[in-house]
Amino acid sequence: MTSRRHFLTLAAAGAALAAASPLLAQTSPAPGSVLPTRGTPRANTALATNAPRPGGRYRPLTRLGLGGAPLGGSLAPTTDEAAHATVAAAWAAGVRTFDTSPWYGLGLSERRMGRELHNHPAADYTLSSKTGRLLTGTAGPLQKTNWHDPAPFRYVYDYSAAGTRRSVEDSLNRLGVSQLDIVLIHDLSPENKDLGMPWEQRFAEAAKGAMPELTRMREEGLIKAWGFGVNRPQPALRAVAEADPDIMLLACQYSILDHEATLRDTFPKLAEKGVSVMVGSPLLAGYLTGRERYLYGSPIPEWAPAKRAKIAAVCERHGIDLRTAALQFADAPEVVSSIIPGARTPEQVRANVASMGIAIPADFWAELKQEKLIAADAPVPA
């Protein structure tokens, strides 16, 4: 196993050569609809930003971001017009952190997000995309994916140095922007059965290729930060032990409904290295807004409906939307530098933004802890 010191030595040498609610209804809301946000707005409803940290690792501009998977047809089709309206609504509402990936719709999400972002100065927002899959021409049948109406490309996994640099260049071309702030090594994770080999073998490829190459790109000033975008903690924890990442996008791992393992084990180990976290899927792909789906096609856990209903009942007593509670809960830990709920409509964006401006009373969180619905030591908004 490569030590972190040895990794940094190799990376430095390479750089010299080469020069990151109301009580839930029993049925899902109609597509595109949102639950009304309730509660008392704060005096200052501007979206929170990350204060500069002299000498610290890069953190995104706004703590609330926009996740780009729905723009690529995750869970339901999305048109070009709806995607553009969604990104434009996010910008108009003050969102300045955006996350996408070549994988999302096989390039669709990047193209659609870039349609809005290329109109704004790169210094005015944070943009993250991912590496690990290269999109190729259609010399052969298209692979089956879960994306709705994806672009007509094939994909191949590539965590090598050359593949990583090509992936970044391809993303910039699709987006039509001048710079990626954060690049995340994508889906190199134990649950990904599409890797073609055990994830540890792919990790070894990335340790020799993608990780030192992203470190070089950071040192060259081409990116500001890099890390992993994964649905399980093991790759992120191994990376901080062996390399020098800045930030991790942890999806499916920290929510008001399910958070104790991440709070106890993953967060402290990342914080010890100064690595921050972007929380993906803080609404569990809509489950915390009333949808009867859990994450990305996973079956709804047997324990989840009862726990969701209990939390929703506490929300009802305090006049708070469950969406609002879920987003603010995910944003509360010090190690978290942004939350990036996905959205496919302007209404969903505006509801998420409104939720961040609600003042939640302390006795709401106290009741959740008293009822053992959230961990006793879970950070909550001040």
* Euclidean distance between CA atoms 82 and 182, whole angstroms: 25
Buried b (16+ CB within 10 A) or exposed e, 192-201: beebeeebee
Q: What are phi and psi of 96, to 5 degrees?
A: -130, 15
Q: How many residues does the chain have?
A: 382
SS3 string, 8-69, reads HHHHHHHHHHHCCCCCCCCCCCCCCCCCCCCCEECCCCCCCECCCCCCCCCCCCECECEECC
Q: CA torsion sign, 342 to 346 to 349 to 351?
A: negative
Which residues contact residue 123 at a Cβ distance below 8 angstroms, ignoring those fewer than 6 apart? none
Q: Which helix (H) or strand (E) holds 234?
A: helix 234-242
* Euclidean distance between CA atoms 147 and 170, whole angstroms: 20
Buried b (16+ CB within 10 A) or exposed e, 210-220: bbbbbbbbbbe
Can you read off the two tokens belonging to residue 116?
């809005």
Residues designated catalytic: 99, 104, 130
Considering only the C-alpha atoms of the chain, give the largest distance between any 2 of them, rounded to a whole number of Å. 62
Gyration radius of the chain's alpha carbons: 20
Of 97, 99, 117, 95, nearest to 47 by C-alpha is 95
* Euclidean distance between CA atoms 344 and 66, whole angstroms: 10
CB atoms within 10 A of CB 14: 15
